[in-house]
């Protein structure tokens, strides 16, 4: 009898040990399956940038100075402000970014953009300031555990440029007799953007965009000019070494095209801060009156208030550096930022 109780006790002890081992194994398998690759970072909001200052020269609009600042304003929100000004151009823009969850972000951009172009009427050339309002919204999903696919996003933009009736004037003699009825015609434009970002290797990131745009110049003196259609865009960001990264992009949309090249360099990096210098070149054109434009720029970037216990940052660091930094990087890029305002000459001639 005593031997039976002893055997039963040993069996119970072995069963208990087996149950504990099985439970431990199941828990370990479960955690290995569901723990994400990246630990979320919800650090306390502080002033840290990046702050950007660009000096830009255009063959059409001369000089422009463009300061820009982006920062998180709480654990789930960030704000980016831009205030560019020059001899013939002015731009002010604000972008608010919000983290709905660790994988789902959204942002909204509002901007006012004005330029001072030349308008060649048959009665003579004039230059006047005209403005354009822009509004855009974007939503992005990033699967944190999906290697190779960085994110997918969908965006919408709306642009509305200014129209104005001008006083009628006699035509220049070279353009014949008659009175020139003058008007500057703006447009309403709506566009959508579906994009995917892929990271095939650690040092390179590719963006692919599919656009659909519809715009309408509501002319009065000439036939209405409207168009719609599909466009495409592509960009690559490639690290050449720890301190140099190259960006190349091309965008071909119904309202405009834009080609962009930039080389960015880290001359110095200390613990908790980062200083960068960039040289940029842009070639663009649009459906408006301006035609082709070329711009060159020197840009300075500075971020501070980082992790004082980490090593100095460089371009070979992991592309993802926590949710706070990801939200700031996402908010820094505005949803809507056309290279030109969209204005056209709308004129007619009445004979004496």
DSSP letter for 256, please.
Answer: E
Q: How far is CA 140 from the centre of its chain?
A: 12
CA distance 65 to 196: 32
pLDDT of residue 308: 61
CA distance 180 to 37: 67
Q: pTM of the predicted model, to two decimals?
A: 0.82
CA distance 73 to 68: 16
Q: Phi then psi for 160, rounded to 5 degrees?
A: -140, 110
CA distance 122 to 182: 9
Query: Residue 47 corresponds to which tokens in the numbers above?
Result: 């002033």
CB proximity list for 28: less than 8 A, separation 6 or greater: none
Query: Residue 236 corresponds to which tokens in the numbers above?
Result: 């690559």
pLDDT of residue 321: 63
pLDDT of residue 322: 72
pLDDT of residue 351: 81
Provide CATH code, domain 48-350.
2.40.160.40
| Residue listed under structure tokens 């200014």 | 162
pLDDT of residue 306: 66
| Residue listed under structure tokens 């599919």 | 210
**Burial class of residue 306, CB neighbours in 10 A (0-12, 13-18, 19+):** buried
DSSP letter for 76, please.
Answer: T
**Burial class of residue 14, CB neighbours in 10 A (0-12, 13-18, 19+):** exposed
**Degrees (nearest 5) of the Cα angle 258, 334, 185?**
60
Buried b (16+ CB within 10 A) or exposed e, 195-229: bebebeeeeebebebebebebebebeeeeeeeeee
Q: What is the CA radius of gyration of the chain?
A: 28
CA distance 183 to 161: 14
pLDDT of residue 75: 81
DSSP letter for 16, please.
Answer: H
pLDDT, tens digit only, all 352 positions of the chain: 434 444 444 444 444 444 444 433 333 333 223 333 444 444 445 557 789 999 999 998 889 999 999 998 888 999 999 999 999 999 999 999 999 998 999 999 999 999 998 899 999 999 889 999 999 999 999 987 767 888 999 999 999 998 999 999 999 988 888 999 999 999 999 999 999 999 888 888 999 999 999 998 878 888 877 778 999 999 999 999 888 999 999 999 988 999 999 999 998 777 778 899 999 999 999 877 778 899 999 999 998 876 665 666 777 665 556 788 889 999 999 999 999 999 889 999 888 7
């Amino acid at each position: 009898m005593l031997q039976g109780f002893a055997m039963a006790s040993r069996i119970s002890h072995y069963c208990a040990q087996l149950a504990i081992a099985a439970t431990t194994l199941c828990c370990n398998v479960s955690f290995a399956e569901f723990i994400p690759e990246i630990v979320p970072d919800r650090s306390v909001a502080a002033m840290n940038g990046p702050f950007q200052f660009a000096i830009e020269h255009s063959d059409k609009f001369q000089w422009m100075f463009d300061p820009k600042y982006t920062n998180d304003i709480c654990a789930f929100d960030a704000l980016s402000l831009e205030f560019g000004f020059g001899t013939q151009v002015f731009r002010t823009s604000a972008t608010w970014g919000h983290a709905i969850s660790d994988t789902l972000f959204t942002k909204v951009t509002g901007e006012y953009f004005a330029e001072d172009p030349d308008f060649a009427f048959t009665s003579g050339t004039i230059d006047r300031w005209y403005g354009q309002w822009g509004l855009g919204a974007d939503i992005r999903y990033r699967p944190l555990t999906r290697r190779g696919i960085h994110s997918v996003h969908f965006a919408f933009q709306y642009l509305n440029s200014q129209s104005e009736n001008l006083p009628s004037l006699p035509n220049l003699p070279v353009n014949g007799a008659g009175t020139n009825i003058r008007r500057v015609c703006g447009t309403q434009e709506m566009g959508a953007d579906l994009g995917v970002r892929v990271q095939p290797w650690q040092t390179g990131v590719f963006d692919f965009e599919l656009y659909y745009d519809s715009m309408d110049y509501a002319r009065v003196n000439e036939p209405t000019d409207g168009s719609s259609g599909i466009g495409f865009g592509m960009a690559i960001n490639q690290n050449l070494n720890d301190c140099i990264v190259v960006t190349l992009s091309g965008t071909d949309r119904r309202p405009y095209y834009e080609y962009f090249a930039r080389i960015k360099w880290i001359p110095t990096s200390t613990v908790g801060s980062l200083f960068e210098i960039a040289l940029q070149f842009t070639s663009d054109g649009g459906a408006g009156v301006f035609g082709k434009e070329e711009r060159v720029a020197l840009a300075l970037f500075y971020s501070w208030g980082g992790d004082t216990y980490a090593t100095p940052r460089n371009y070979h660091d992991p592309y993802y550096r926590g949710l706070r930094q990801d939200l700031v990087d996402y908010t820094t890029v505005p949803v809507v930022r056309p290279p030109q305002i969209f204005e056209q000459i709308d004129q007619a001639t009445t004979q004496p």
